[in-house]
Amino acid sequence: MKSVNPYTGDTVFEAETHGQAAIEAALTRAVSAVQKLKAMGMQARLDGLRKAADVLDDERDAIAELMTREMGKPIKQAKAEVEKCAWVCRYYADEAPDMLKPTPIDAPEKGECSLYHLPIGPVFAVMPWNFPFWQVFRFAAPNLAVGNPGLLKHASAVPGSALKIAEVLEKAGFPEGAFQTLLIGSDKTETIITDDRIRGVTLTGSEGAGSAVASLAGKAIKPSVMELGGSDAFIVMPSADIDKAVETAVTARTQNNGQSCIAAKRFIIHKDVYDAFTAKFVHSMKELRVGDPMDENTDIGPLSSKGAADEVHQLVEDTIKGGATVLFEPERKDHAFLTPGVLADIPRGTPGHDSEIFAPVALMFKAEDVDHAIAIANNHPYGLGSSFWSRDKAEIETACTDLDAGSTYVNQMVASDPRLPFGGVKKSGFGRELAREGLLAFTNPKTIAVTGLD
């Protein structure tokens, strides 16, 4: 298994894949780690998370460079990703004790009643390449806090990052088997998911991968969390601060080179401000600096691979051929580059209307009023995040209740945050990560009723 720098085409990292014997050994270690993590006690596990955060801080620049070389994200964003991983470790180290306290239940005829949240055992994670560290740590930190060992099958494009994560947690003092990376292909996942030693499954990835993995987990009767695709709506109403909305919209569309599930992809603009917003937005998109992702001044680096760039470029071309208007044409350049672009008048039945464009290409829609804007936003198979821009309280209330998405951020960009539950609806998946919900996702909510002590 090897990673290839999408900017240069050079091999970054190469290692042997793990065979069945290595998988069996990892499963055995994971089971043993259940008792090891229990014996540590919560305080020692949380101290381990704090130590992991320290390791991430100390090695931030080297880790960021590894991510950038493996999948092409701008180096300044890679550094921010490492810092966010340290944050999620410290967040759970601070908050887990209160979140895991037994909850009293008022049922006096049953004695002293409460609800405990106990670890369930090894959790298997299938993770993507676009945020190589963050996606993993937002799964690993809460599960280690609870006491669940983790097994990681990372994307084949980022094996160096996958092994580095395991090294960070080892340096933090977690026992053998508490967190393990398996360098395996997707053909090995069924064996692991259906193994009785695995007690839960989490995946961040495509709709197709989520459907396959969730089906296996369901057949094996195991809890799962699926964070899948997104084509987030970014709605702008006439009362909004247009300049701030434009500035945020550019960042929301182009973060991580446009390769984010919660990136704003569909810009739904009220007719009264459509022309002004679109003109400013296109101008700002044209000003973005495209180039070497290792350069601190670069805004847009390459996509994750030449194959990914070719595939997304074809989706854009099909949308244009289907009748979309080109306001700023994206260009397929050397290596894995697809430059920023803006399309409008997106016809139904084209990829731009019906699926997800995983690149820095924005799709513009014009709305008659707030109800029409929400109808456009909801007319899509995905429902991950949504951003709504208005100063009208009635419009905001309507958007917060009627947008069919896992979150609505008002007058700000959608962003994952350790303190806020994260996940989607419809084909964007189910379950929640982060916050208390993420901590409890793979626990046994055990009812305790005690009587007869008098």
User: Known catalytic residues?
Assistant: 227, 261
Alpha-carbon span 126 to 311, nearest angstrom: 22
SS (HEC) of 98-153: HHCCCEEECCHHHCEEEEEEEECCCEEEECCCCCCCHHHHHHHHHHHHHCCCEEEE
Task: Tell me which amino acid residue 28 is.
Answer: T
Angle at the Cα of 129 from the Cα atoms of 318 and 415, rounded to 5 degrees: 85
Please enumerate in sequence order all residues whose Cβ is within 8 A of that of 186, keeping only pairs 6 or more positions apart, or say none: 153, 209
C-alpha to C-alpha distance for 303 and 2, rounded to whole angstroms: 17
* 388 CB-near residues (< 8 Å, 6+ apart): 235, 237, 395, 396, 399, 400, 403, 408, 409, 410, 411
Structure tokens at 28: 């055995």
- Which pairing describes strands 224-227 and 429-430: parallel, antiparallel, or unpaired? antiparallel
Are 425 and 402 in contact, with CB atoms under 8 Å apart? Answer: no
Q: Strand 123-126 vs strand 150-153: parallel, antiparallel, or unpaired?
A: parallel
* 399 CB-near residues (< 8 Å, 6+ apart): 235, 370, 374, 386, 388, 390, 408, 410
* Per-position b or e across 347-357, b if 16+ CB within 10 A of its CB: eeebbbbbbbb
3-state class of 450 per DSSP?
A: strand
